[in-house]
Structure 1
């Protein structure tokens, strides 16, 4: 992740080299000693249809060994050079542990492209797994890391086009397999050429059907999904799929399941394959026949629309396989769902049967209501008004479903029944239940048992009443969104929008409302491109609505969400500010639409580190919503929670805790103590207590909240992960680093896997982890971590963000305690100058940076410099009337008089 100065690419013109003048070997390749731009050829590593790969030495601006690929299959004309410059910049921006870094790229004088990339010494992934005798699950886990690298490239707009074992190299690093994806050269060459022949460039055995046919328009990220499916098949079954009949223009294309390939092997060879994976042959066959067969077959579908929509979806299904959860590729069936559940929760199976029967009984009442619509339809031909009432009743039933409450009820019912039938087992069962996700179980049951049947009933019973049917489908979509099945919600909202567009027009308010619901579901499901496509069509029509229409405003704010999701938060802020300025002018600051825009502006400002501005805006939102909507309205309570967080971030600890206590008590009265929303309020309150210095009192509250969230939401849910991090922080404040560090490592693992290493949330925990390592007297480990994290945090989060500045505090203190005081002084000076620039001379954080600089200067004997800083930044506070000081300044004076060095504060 470290970004070095030499990662910047030199201009294309400076790299020109004449191949005809370079010394060559007998086979026509470049001989050792030949020069290519800044590189000296050391030897040939390999060659193929696209060109050759050489081991080379970069001579300037730094010396290092690289792999240099010369692509002789495509010569760039002058008109291609500008395009080439853009494309190579895209490749160079890829930063992922599983991708071999491309350092440089250029063209020879004849126009042949070449690339200098990280030299990888590893083995092809299939050979590595065979030589290391990795188990089946270890192979899948390694393959998931490869998928994460490919997905990173796809996010950058790069399709590899030649994924095969030879381009997926693996080495052992710190005792763990470390995969590296190499050779993105075909991706660039295919983009540049505009020549269909290059779309066939690649390896036939691993090539998707559309790429084999040479249709450039058909090759996209799903082509890489196909190639990965072939590699996965080879990894798990030991047999590579045949190209003929599966890729290259097959008349009857069909993929063969891994278990079938294993069965076709001679008995001795099949046993050897199983032994390499640590399994008996019968056990190997059984493992393949389950989820892995379905995953491979879905990835290798001849029709690209039938494959996984992204590499991330493939990786997610593989992770589900490893965790014993339901795999999306497997056709839905009750038997499969129950088998998965029983394997994951054997200890709770008997008691779950009782509670599940009760849950299904309740759901059956809802289904019964839908069935009644069929009888009512016969009468509704003469009584359309009654039919509308029935439909409205069904909608209210569907929209009233609260999946999280169901999960909580299921957990409580299970625990109560076990306690009643076997009190001695109650504690052990409770511990086991804490590891289960009853919310997931309830969600799956509602999906398969209620909503799927509801959709079938709507299609069957309301086929001749399309308007009623579409209203019911909208209700089903809202339930899907409420229970977190955003893909299904987006698909149904899209159908609702299309129906209304056909009947009412694209610009009708009802159509645009459905479009907005579709966009929100797509954003929740992280389908940014699809959300943007819907917005492009809906926004121009939304501008015909009144300026303060909530649907119009939501669509405009959704556009800012798309921009922010792509990483351009300053631009997103500008969009929200423009919407808010218009609403202030035409509707006033108390209009609900204006308050929503102000709320979103505060959220963007908070993400940018503009905390005082965010707090001031959120104060307006709380006051406005309380006056307009009432103190207990859902939107008012949500704004109160946001304001409490901003108060604690602005060091207004007492005011923040008081507001959060009030908010928590309201949620307990309204929703109950273990509703997910209440749990969030309780967890936030405990975290604020930690920040206020009362970690000991907060610790049991956080433990309770974590156990409840694991039970209700699941271990990897973002809110559960956040509570785990807050618990780690409480332990760290109590100096129990042995308890804090493992919890932080769990958070890092989950966030890196689900959000990526450069996501702001991942960076935040990495910064915290560096601070914990420092406090645990491991300064060298903290410095190693910061060498990668600090430049990325400053780039992604921005200089104003507190976490970005905290990297400088931690690094400086780690250098100081390691005896590198002069380097620590330089880092503290850099922090001081940064805070003066972005926060001002009198901000408490600027004074804190000055304090660190003063103490470090005195350690080095620079007393004159230290005294001058103290007179300017510290003395005015020490001599001021305490009654005139703000809370933050008064706290600073107290800490300074007590001599508590700020570098040691977490």
Structure 2
């Protein structure tokens, strides 16, 4: 030691800065960047990149590595190309690993054994050196100061700022060094995984389908045995059993059987029998059986059984009183939650959605009911199991629930149900008879009496005319009246009235008397129409609230009576009253929307006769707009035809002959489809349109 200071390398002469400040190259570093010792060169020097303080940090890291391990991090005696590759791409081994595997002479020079030296370097020193030797300059220490600070912390046994490489970092480096090999390996691995996954999915699907088949087979065998009992063993003697007796015996057998070996099928039988009691309007027995089925199902793990029991009970609990409606809705939601989101449970999900739709409808939430019915049909179409019976029941429910708000959709549902019932061989069943009746009623509301009469007739073929209720008889009478078969219509309206009187059914009494009034007016029997109207008004005042829309109906019929008697001022007053009453009822949230077009048409008819074609045109256009919104622009209906007739007559009075003829042609087309080509209204419209000679 001479005490003289020696300058070793101008390359590291640089202003010191915080690590947070990006290192900038000084003039000395830049000028000395090309003069280098290859074994101590940083990657950016070899590749011609930017040289900065980080370059000098790398050189210090190499020097530090050599001092501690006795070896250069890039190895010894390499060819130039290998040396460049090692500097740029190959990560240096940990200093601790190099020291542990070095000759004992290297360790002895450092007063240690190889293992001891490796242990001494392992940990923070490894981390400090690796940070200084990072290939990316931005990942090294930003200044000599920060490097020195970490060394001081190490000596003081304090936490250092550098952090070991994460697993993700090392993997990323490996991938970049071995792109082709990793890509090929990844493709092979993905192919293997895809193959294994596909096999597993196919195996699982096969097991699911097998389980479904076994479940359905067990259910079918159980139902076959049960049906055999009902058809043969239940009747010990030759005495015939009534339906009620047969149902009671079935209930007793199911309730007392030992079902410990097959509780799921026992629950299904209870649900099935309960449904039969529902059809016979014995709700108390139905609820008791379904409550029993629900309680048993709670002890089972089968999601199908648990869901069916919950949803069936929920639907049975809802009623007009509303006291159990909250629990009914909760049970529907409980049933839906029980079902996994898997196609094998599509049938059960459709069942619960259908029951939920009925609960929503009875709670007055028609939009929700229709949405649930549509969802049920969608799930049913995805089910691996065919259930035409459930599909039929959902269509019947959907048709009934949509009749008031979506009449065209209701008719379409009933028509699909009719086709399905025929395919199932149900043409002469009670289900088909009810279907024909409700379809006929929907067609009547749409103004299609020709089709409605045919469906009414099919219903009577199933039940017999004597077995029809007052409601069905009066609806059939109205269809006959629209078709001009007045005497037949009067006969069925009288039958309806007598049945309603016998059953003290005031609503049916009012409806049947209204049909009789219309028939008497069409027959020209004005005195009898007047008498019946007076009696009808007296009954209504005691049976209906004053804001009920049927008072508007009676006012409209009084307008028709006054019109036929040529009392046009009175006729117009009653027509105005009918429209005003119905609009008030609708505004207050009551029924009556579907009848307003008829009241507007009647007023337009009187306005035409009192020389008010503009008002008549306005009422007819308003009625037509409402009908097209309800039935669809492509629909056909006698009500649409009547509106076109009123429009044509209004235009005719105003001298717009060509436009009037177009409306008459439209009316003729409507009447031809809804009433038939030989109906008087059809012939009259065709004559006005110039389609036939007078």
The whole-number CA distance in structure 2 between the counterparts of 1:582 and 1:731 is 51
> Does the alignment pair 1:617 with 2:409?
no
> Does the alignment pair 1:896 with 2:685?
yes
> Does the alignment pair 1:808 with 2:600?
yes
Residue matched to 2:558: 773
Query: Does the CA-based 8 Å contact 1:490-1:519 persist in structure 2?
Result: no
> Offset of 1:664 from its aligned partner?
0.9
Change (3 A) 1:743 1:603: farther
Change (3 A) 1:585 1:733: farther
Residue matched to 1:856: 650
Residue matched to 1:522: 318
Change (3 A) 1:593 1:848: same
Corresponding residue to 2:330 among 533, 554, 562: 533
Query: Does the CA-based 8 Å contact 1:732-1:740 persist in structure 2?
Result: no
Corresponding residue to 2:659 among 848, 858, 869: 869
SS in 1 for 2:299: helix
RMSD over aligned CA atoms reads: 5.3
Residue matched to 2:435: 639
> Does the alignment pair 1:627 with 2:418?
no
Change (3 A) 1:895 1:802: farther
- What per-residue deviation string (whole Å, max 9, x for no partner) do you get for residues 372-410 of structure 1? xxxxxxxxxxxxx9xx99xx969x98971699xxxxxxx
> Offset of 1:577 from its aligned partner?
2.3
Corresponding residue to 2:494 among 685, 688, 703: 703
- TM-score between both structures, scaled by the size of structure 2: 0.50
> Does the alignment pair 1:575 with 2:372?
yes
SS in 1 for 2:403: helix
Change (3 A) 1:493 1:798: same
Change (3 A) 1:552 1:852: same
Corresponding residue to 1:827 among 592, 605, 619: 619
Change (3 A) 1:874 1:555: same
The whole-number CA distance in structure 2 between the counterparts of 1:795 and 1:681 is 29
- What per-residue deviation string (whole Å, max 9, x for no partner) do you get for residues 99-134 of structure 1? xxxxxxxxxxxxxxxxxxxxxxxxxxxxxxxxxxxx
> Offset of 1:511 from its aligned partner?
6.7
Change (3 A) 1:567 1:610: same
Corresponding residue to 2:244 among 400, 403, 409: 400
Residue matched to 2:189: none
Change (3 A) 1:740 1:593: same
> Offset of 1:772 from its aligned partner?
0.8
Query: Does the CA-based 8 Å contact 2:303-2:338 persist in structure 1?
Result: yes
> Does the alignment pair 1:591 with 2:394?
no
Residue matched to 2:58: none
SS in 2 for 1:556: helix
The whole-number CA distance in structure 2 between the counterparts of 1:808 and 1:802 is 11
Q: Which moved more, 1:530-539 or 1:518-527?
A: 518-527
> Offset of 1:496 from its aligned partner?
1.8
SS in 2 for 1:504: coil
> Offset of 1:501 from its aligned partner?
3.6
> Offset of 1:509 from its aligned partner?
2.1
Query: Does the CA-based 8 Å contact 2:481-2:519 persist in structure 1?
Result: yes
Change (3 A) 1:552 1:588: closer
Change (3 A) 1:691 1:516: farther
The whole-number CA distance in structure 2 between the counterparts of 1:645 and 1:538 is 34
- What per-residue deviation string (whole Å, max 9, x for no partner) do you get for residues 777-804 of structure 1? 25324423431312544896999x6423
Unaligned residue ranges in structure 1 (runs of 5+): 1-384, 404-449, 901-906
The whole-number CA distance in structure 2 between the counterparts of 1:596 and 1:700 is 34
Corresponding residue to 1:666 among 454, 462, 470: 462
Residue matched to 1:255: none
The whole-number CA distance in structure 2 between the counterparts of 1:523 and 1:477 is 16
Change (3 A) 1:795 1:625: farther
Change (3 A) 1:533 1:693: farther
SS in 2 for 1:608: coil
Change (3 A) 1:873 1:536: same
Greater helix percent: which structure? 2
Q: Which moved more, 1:599-608 or 1:622-631?
A: 599-608
The whole-number CA distance in structure 2 between the counterparts of 1:851 and 1:694 is 22
Corresponding residue to 1:790 among 574, 579, 583: 583
The whole-number CA distance in structure 2 between the counterparts of 1:577 and 1:750 is 41
The whole-number CA distance in structure 2 between the counterparts of 1:537 and 1:816 is 60
> Offset of 1:493 from its aligned partner?
4.6
Query: Does the CA-based 8 Å contact 1:618-1:643 persist in structure 2?
Result: yes
Query: Does the CA-based 8 Å contact 1:663-1:681 persist in structure 2?
Result: no
Query: Does the CA-based 8 Å contact 1:651-1:888 persist in structure 2?
Result: no
> Offset of 1:554 from its aligned partner?
4.2
> Offset of 1:504 from its aligned partner?
3.1
Corresponding residue to 1:738 among 527, 530, 548: 530
Corresponding residue to 2:399 among 596, 602, 605: 602
Query: Does the CA-based 8 Å contact 2:486-2:523 persist in structure 1?
Result: yes
Q: Which moved more, 1:775-784 or 1:649-658?
A: 649-658
- What per-residue deviation string (whole Å, max 9, x for no partner) do you get for residues 595-642 of structure 1? 33333333344322533x443432221121111243223333332333
Corresponding residue to 2:505 among 694, 715, 718: 715
The whole-number CA distance in structure 1 between the counterparts of 2:246 and 2:604 is 49
> Does the alignment pair 1:692 with 2:483?
yes
- TM-score between both structures, scaled by the size of structure 1: 0.40
Query: Does the CA-based 8 Å contact 2:294-2:306 persist in structure 1?
Result: no
The whole-number CA distance in structure 1 between the counterparts of 2:535 and 2:246 is 31
Give the total of aligned pairs.
Answer: 437
The whole-number CA distance in structure 2 between the counterparts of 1:577 and 1:694 is 39
SS in 2 for 1:400: helix
Query: Does the CA-based 8 Å contact 2:380-2:391 persist in structure 1?
Result: yes
Q: Which moved more, 1:724-733 or 1:633-642?
A: 724-733
Query: Does the CA-based 8 Å contact 1:477-1:490 persist in structure 2?
Result: yes
> Offset of 1:589 from its aligned partner?
9.5
Q: Identify which of structures 1 and 2 has the higher relative contact order when contacts are C-alpha pairs closer than 8 Å and 6+ apart.
A: 1
Residue matched to 2:72: none
- What per-residue deviation string (whole Å, max 9, x for no partner) do you get for residues 150-183 of structure 1? xxxxxxxxxxxxxxxxxxxxxxxxxxxxxxxxxx
SS in 1 for 2:424: helix
> Offset of 1:870 from its aligned partner?
1.4
The whole-number CA distance in structure 2 between the counterparts of 1:478 and 1:594 is 16
